[in-house]
Amino acid sequence: MLAKKLVTAQKRGETRALCLGLGMVACSMMMYFFIGITIVPFYTKSVWTTESVCKVLKANIKDQVLCPNSEGSDDEDIFPYPCLQVWVNLTASGQEVMLYQTEDTLERNPKCSYVPGKSENSNEVQTRIETIASNFKKYQTFPCYYDPGGTQTNVILSRLYPPKGLLFAFLWPTLMFTGGCLIIVLVKISQYVSVLSAWQ
């Protein structure tokens, strides 16, 4: 009787472990799919892939503009902010080009180097942009990214999804997939050993 209870408990434990392993594999597949339709397209779309050195030529704050600078935007998403324009010298080509914070900045408003997030406090936005402008004037040399193919003549300060960020995004689903497969393999080995012991 005790042996039957132990076998039953063992089978239940193996079933639960097997369900856990399959669940981890299924979740990792969903994470892979989510990353593939969200992060990967932005990474492959970006043409600013080569790092170089930029030197600030001028950083000026122009009159206030509306954000976003695109048609079809909702009124609640449009707000005024000071337009910061930063022009730099690209060491790789020696050209004078405009600097943008990220790829998204150029899409939201190509007239400004920095586009703030939506904020109701205009004084806070003004202070932040003035601080950014003063930092550019203080630290005039810094790394930047440009398009080696020449499709885009401007440069960006940082990439939204650099290679390290993409690898980090794939790290967690890979660990979950590996752990799930390992659990399934261990359960199968345990079942095989149990059958072999019972046969002997």
Taking only the tens place, the pLDDT of each residue in 149-168 is 888 889 999 998 888 888 89
Query: Quick check: 74 pLDDT over 60?
Result: no
Phi, psi of 159 (to 5 degrees): -85, 145
In the chain, where the domains are located = 52-161
Question: Does the structure show a pLDDT above 80 at 195?
Answer: no
Percent of the chain beyond pLDDT 70? 84
Cα 92–chain centre separation: 26
Strands 96-100 vs 79-90: parallel, antiparallel or unpaired: antiparallel
* Token pair for 35: 């990353």
Is the pLDDT at 77 greater than 70, yes or no?
Answer: no
- Kindly state the average pLDDT of the residues 111-130: 81
* Rounded average pLDDT over 39-50: 89
Q: Residue type for 76, please?
A: E
SS (H, E, C) the chain: CHHHHHHHHHHHHHHHHHHHHHHHHHHHHHHHHHHHHHHHHHHHHCCCCEEEEEEEEEEEEEEEEEECCCCCCCHHHCEEEEEEEEEEEECCCCCEEEEECCHHHHHHCCCCCCCCCCCCCHHHHHHHHHHHHHHHHHCCEEEEEECCCCCCCCEECCCCCCHHHHHHHHHHHHHHHHHHHHHHHHHHHHHHHHHHHHHC
Tally of CA atoms within 13 A in the half-sphere of 175 that contains its CB: 6
pLDDT confidence of 71, banded at 50, 70, 90? very low
Taking residue 10's Cβ as centre, other Cβ atoms within 10 Å add up to 13
Q: What is the structure's pLDDT at 2?
A: 43
> What whole-number distance in Å separates Cα of residue 137 and Cα of residue 99?
13
What pLDDT, on a 0 to 100 scale, did the predictor assign at position 79?
65
Model pTM greater than 0.75?
Answer: no
* Band of pLDDT at residue 78, cut at 50, 70 and 90: low
State residue 190's pLDDT score. Answer: 83
Neighbours of 74 (CB within 10 A): 7
